[in-house]
Amino acid sequence: MVYLYNLVPAMFGLMVKWASSIENAVLSNTVLISAWVICAVAAYLLGSLNSAIIVSKYKFGQDIRNYGSGNAGLTNMHRVYGKDGAIYTLFGDIAKQVVSILIGVILLGQTGAYLAGVFCMIGHIFPIYYKFKGGKGVLTAATMILIIDPMIFAVLFCIFALVLLITRYVSLSSIIAALMYPASLEIASVARTGHGPQFFELFFALFVGLLVIYMHRSNIFRIFNNQESKFSFRKKPEAQEVLDMEDKENDADNSYYPPATDRKKKKK
């Protein structure tokens, strides 16, 4: 987005340009504040459309929050439903972030892109349609970074992939990449312009990084206790393996099973 914005700036920041053309300061500020509110609310509502929950309900007839780790995110979809579930979820979560950022950048320019991206991520994590229980926001955060700055995304993806290859922990890979996001933004900005990033860029990068880490706090605990499940590069785990990986809090009964790995429900 940073490159596209520089190529065709006339397409973006329309509300900012309108506000700057208004001589009355009060009216101008009202237009800007309205644009910020519209951008944030629209992105949050789009982000609240949780693809994992929608796909698990309409394609598999179940709720992903009742299986695997109980998390409505890409990793748990892959763990429970395999590649099909993961691919549908991937495209759905990418699409809602793309639309959100387009709304933000058209209204407010680059600031709007960051604002919309973050609120779409918040909606994904705390969806209003699903009692504020959603995913961990890694995919929506990654999509935001990819759209806004592909070079930084490439660096973070390499870090993510390297940690995943070494440890096979998706959660740890996400945490390390989140930690490196603000630092990567700082280094890239200095290399391009000779000075650090703008305040809003660094603020949003820090917020996104800290939010991703916070959402993985239970994973951090399990990693330290050697209880975190590892990602398999070779095959989808069998039903019993998924049950063994179960990490839902306050769940003493492992009698349920992932429907995608065992189509016929076993009677107790």
Percent of the residues in the chain that have a pLDDT greater than 70, as a whole number: 82
Single residue among 148, 182, 202 that ends a domain in this structure: 148
Are 177 and 95 in a shared domain? no
Domain-embedded: residue 137: yes
- The confidence score (pLDDT) of residue 163 equals 94
Are 43 and 143 in a shared domain? yes
- The confidence score (pLDDT) of residue 256 equals 40
User: 16-25, 91-100, 167-176, 240-249: lowest mean pLDDT where?
Assistant: 240-249
Confidence of residue 253 (pLDDT cuts 50, 70, 90): very low
Are 101 and 154 in a shared domain? no
Alpha helices in 109-235 (DSSP H): 110-125, 138-148, 150-167, 170-193, 199-215, 217-224
68-127 pLDDT per residue, tens: 878 787 878 888 888 888 899 899 989 999 999 999 999 998 889 999 999 999 999 999
Are 138 and 199 in a shared domain? no
Are 45 and 135 in a shared domain? yes
Q: How far is CA 132 from the centre of its chain?
A: 15
Are 140 and 28 in a shared domain? yes
Are 132 and 15 in a shared domain? yes
What's the structural domain count of the chain? Answer: 2
Are 21 and 97 in a shared domain? yes
What pTM did the predictor assign?
Answer: 0.79
pLDDT of 66 higher than 90: no
Do residues 68 and 76 lie in contact, with contact meaning Cβ atoms separated by under 8 Å?
Answer: yes
- The confidence score (pLDDT) of residue 72 equals 80
Are 180 and 61 in a shared domain? no
Domain-embedded: residue 250: no
pLDDT of 251 higher than 50: no
- Span 20-28, mean pLDDT? 90
195-225 pLDDT per residue, tens: 888 888 899 999 999 999 999 998 899 888 8
Alpha helices in 8-73 (DSSP H): 14-20, 25-47, 51-58
Confidence of residue 133 (pLDDT cuts 50, 70, 90): confident
- The confidence score (pLDDT) of residue 3 equals 54
CA distance readout (Å), 86 to 77, 97, 176: 5, 17, 22
- The confidence score (pLDDT) of residue 208 equals 94
Close Cβ partners of 151 (under 8 Å, ≥ 6 residues apart)? 188
Domain-embedded: residue 243: no
CA dist 205 and 201 (Å) reads 6
Full residue range of the structural domain in which residue 175 is found: 150-229
User: 130-134, 146-150, 232-236: lowest mean pLDDT where?
Assistant: 232-236
Please tell me which residue, 258 or 42, carries the higher pLDDT value.
42
